[in-house]
Amino acid sequence: MNITIIGSGYVGLVTGACLAELGNTVFCLDVDARKIDTLNAGEVPIYEPGLKDIIERNSAAGRLIFSTDVKASVAHGDVQFIAVGTPPDEDGSADLKHVLAAARNIGKHMDRFKVIVNKSTVPVGTAQRVRQAVTEELAQRDLPRLEFAVVSNPEFLKEGSAVEDFMHPDRIVIGVEDDATGARAQGLMRAVYAPFTRNHERTFYMDVISAELTKYAANAMLATRISFMNELANLADKVGADIELVRQGIGSDPRIGYSFLYAGTGYGGSCFPKDVQALSRVASRFGHKLNVLDAVDAVNDSQKRVLADKVVDRFGDDLSGRTFALWGLAFKPNTDDMREAPSRVLIRELLTRGARVRAHDPVAIKEAQRVLARDFTNAPRLLEHITYVERAMDALSDADALLIVTEWKAFRSPDFAAIRARLKQPLIFDGRNLYEPALMREAGIDYRAIGRSSRIPPPPEPVAGARQTSWQHSGW
């Protein structure tokens, strides 16, 4: 099948490469000529395990084409996937200008039936706006009767395992209209995804609006679980509980499960922060307030400062003369994505308090340098206090403490004796709870994680005027 992917960013590249891997001929369009030149030169502008090999293999076979030619891209594919960015607007809602521009380009050049697929994460009602944009362009060309269909097909890819997620999906959501063109579109979409459903039906067909809402609802639920656990972790630090034991205790309930119940320094990336805010904006347009999601967003913003707060509690507000080793810059492992990364908040807190930072990340150093230069536009001299190192242990030299921000596998089993030898003092602030507190005590390391306090808190003060029960008198 001939397929066009509009947008060669994260979602577009993974979608296009994987569909080509299945034998389709895929035309990947992007208006950024430098990105297309990079891809045609055999380089991949993002880091995603396995993606570069698939792109090289299918480009060589002629099944994967990269171009800036809009007219050729529309002519190529019977199915046109729109996979452009939808960054947050000033009010937090999704900015659809790139989506609608892609739709208008299709309307300007199409000459036969097309299935236009919204693969980008878009708010409820976007399909109607895409339909309107295409219809207006066809009317200007005096082709009002040329048929097309608009489909919602949200992606559910996790950065760091996106290729695996695409090739082995747990579900495929397709929203189509209940009319003749919708039925025709459903047939084409069934053909696109047939390789994934031969042994097990994974496709959920629904109306377009429900499909659009499904994507936001999924990300909002996962973000809610993360913020909920972070709230409990902060409480665990206060009362002396171990959040990892709590996680095991509640996760064993099949109604709850273990996924996305890990405490840490908050979520980041291109999806959760943007989508939580965008869903709240959608609700507000309909006069409805999503109180839970507003709280999820607020908790996450606060959680990104937790590690810095722990540092300040230990060393004081003024960090002048202090140096901190930082392991991990990307918002999660197996990616170089720095969007909304907690490390950016932590670095700003440390530098503005006078500290120096020695940072290491297995793949994200180059992207971090680019993003942090933008973050510190108004204070560029602070960037002189960051040193980037290629090896994790080199970050520790003469540092007052080690701060762990990203849970790369390479950080899971370090040489703790070497860590102690290199640091000024054996002190680790772990924002991802990689190590066991008991083992850290045995290694002679002062270990400060998220919700893994080992202290026994004093009993709560009795409420004035409250009547004590018999078990309180007896000391139970």
Report d(CA 43, CA 350) in Å as an integer: 35
Structure tokens at 88: 């947050």
β-partners of residue 404 are 327, 430
Residue 452: Cβ within 10 Å count: 22
The number of angstroms, rounded, from the C-alpha of 65 to the middle of its chain's C-alpha atoms is 27
Alpha helices in 193-207 (DSSP H): 194-197
Residue 123: Cβ within 10 Å count: 20
Select from 140, 87, 85, 151 the least CA-distant residue to 118.
Answer: 151
Q: What contacts 195, CB < 8 A, 6 or more positions away?
A: 22
57-71 burial code (b ≥16 CB/10 A, e <16)? ebbeeebbbbbeebe
Q: Give the count of alpha carbons within 13 A of 385, CB side only.
A: 22
Report d(CA 246, CA 235) in Å as an integer: 12
Q: What contacts 179, CB < 8 A, 6 or more positions away?
A: none
Catalytic residue among 271, 299, 357, 403: 271
Select from 297, 231, 291, 260 the least CA-distant residue to 88.
Answer: 297
Which class for 333: exposed (0-12), middle (13-18), buried (19 or more C-beta within 10 A)?
A: buried
Q: What contacts 132, CB < 8 A, 6 or more positions away?
A: none
Judge whether 18 counts as a catalytic residue.
Answer: no
Q: Enumerate the active-site residues.
A: 271
